[in-house]
Amino acid sequence: MLLTFVKAFLVGGTICMIGQIVINFTHLTNGKILVIFLIAGAILQGLGLYQPLLEFAGAGASIPISGFGASLVKGAVEASERNGVIGAFLGGLQATALGVSVAIVFGYVVALLFTPKTKKM
Amino acid sequence: MTKKLSNQQNPISPDGKLTAKITKDNYKQYVFEKSPKSAHAKNMFWAFVIGGLICVIGQIFIEIYSLLGFSNADSSGLASATLVVITAILTGFGVFDQIGRFAGAGSTIPITGFANAVVAPALEFKAEGLIYGLGAKMFVVAGPVVVNGVFVSVIIALLTLLIGG
């Protein structure tokens, strides 16, 4: 049990640290970093390389945005095995709908309830 | 020692004199030299620690949902969703910005960064209305993530079908 948390910490931390190294040396904006890591995760999953990492590190691999990309691909590939071309278009969003819908609904509610904080520098 | 961002010369000499015409490219070099040298090692350390801790919190939620009887896949999805909710609330209170300031990629790379990218612009632009403000700006950063993610995943699934992998 404890080992699960250690693995999640080490793998998740390492993925974030790689992101920070990329930011330090390229000065890319957050949006670009998110998209790069998402696509990296998607391609690695497509090549069958991200799944072993997910099984090894659990949340350490699924919580970073690369895990979001991986579950899009996993959903699309698995659905296409059952449903062919329709599945390829259907599965990705289906697999990730929970996270996206929760972000939209709670984003909406929070935006309505709170007032923007003035940025303190 | 001055580091180079590109092969451009800094148009402004160290004593503040203009030595060349300022263009878009050499201005970037000027800003690059002027901006404080971010402590790379410190940034990386905090990205590692905070990013790791967020994943550990995610793992704790996975274990809790598993104990409640959810399947592995559902537990993982619910854990991500829980982190999204927590991030949304922390963003509302303005706390997430403060974490992000020293965590850097440690808070943007995990799903928390995606959630913050949805909530923060929605909150900031609600003054412009619910449709073109909140509704449109909500996906100003998250939109490219979803668009590119769906595009790439469909292509990969179609290729996998084609190859028969």
- Tens of pLDDT, residue by residue over A45-97, are 999 999 999 999 999 999 999 999 999 999 999 999 999 999 999 999 999 99
Whether the CB-CB separation of A47 and A73 falls below 8 Å is answered with: no
What's the average model confidence in pLDDT over B140-161? Answer: 95
Whether the CB-CB separation of B138 and B124 falls below 8 Å is answered with: no
The proportion of chain A whose per-residue pLDDT surpasses 70, expressed as a percent, equals 97
What's the average model confidence in pLDDT over B111-137? Answer: 93
Strand partners, B12: B18
Residue B6: strand, helix, or coil: coil
Would you call A55 an interface residue with chain B, using a CB distance cutoff of 8 Å?
no
For A1, name the nearest residue in chain B, comparing CA atoms only. Answer: B63
- Chain B hits for A59, CB-CB cut-off 8 Å, are 55-56, 58-59, 61-62, 76, 79
Hey, of A17, A74, A78, A120, which one would you mutate to test binding to chain B, going by the most B CBs within 10 A of its CB? A17
| Residue A16 maps to a domain | yes
Whether the CB-CB separation of B142 and B118 falls below 8 Å is answered with: yes
Would you call A97 an interface residue with chain B, using a CB distance cutoff of 8 Å?
no
pLDDT of residue A108: 95
Q: Whole domain around residue A64: which residue ranges?
A: 2-113
Answer yes or no: is pLDDT of B64 > 70: yes
Q: What is the DSSP secondary-structure string of B101-149?
A: HHHTHHHHSBHHHHHHHHHHHHHHTGGG-IIIIIIHHTTTTHHHHHHHH
Phi (first) and psi of residue B12, to 5 degrees? -120, 120
Band (A111; pLDDT cuts 50, 70, 90): very high
Report CB contact under 8 Å: B59, A60.
yes
| Residue A63 maps to a domain | yes
| Residue A119 maps to a domain | no
**What is the rounded CA–CA span in Å between residue B34 and residue B17?**
14
Q: Which long-range contacts (CB under 8 A, 24 or more apart) does A50-56 make?
A: A53/A11, A56/A7, A56/A11
Phi (first) and psi of residue B164, to 5 degrees? 80, 20
Report CB contact under 8 Å: B76, A58.
yes
| Residue A20 maps to a domain | yes
Residues A18-36: b if buried by 16+ CB within 10 A, e if exposed: bbbebbbeeeeebbebbbb
Would you call A121 an interface residue with chain B, using a CB distance cutoff of 8 Å?
no
3-state helix, strand, coil in chain B (%, to 5): 75, 0, 25
Domain count, chain A: 1
- Chain B hits for A107, CB-CB cut-off 8 Å, are 88, 115, 118-119, 122, 138
| Residue A26 maps to a domain | yes
Report CB contact under 8 Å: A8, B84.
no
Amino acid at B16: G
How far from chain centre, in Å, is Cα B105? 7
Distance to chain A for B16, nearest Cα, Å: 25
Nearest to B103 by CA among B58, B44, B59: B44
**What is the rounded CA–CA span in Å between residue A20 and residue A98?**
28
Would you call A84 an interface residue with chain B, using a CB distance cutoff of 8 Å?
yes
| Residue A75 maps to a domain | yes
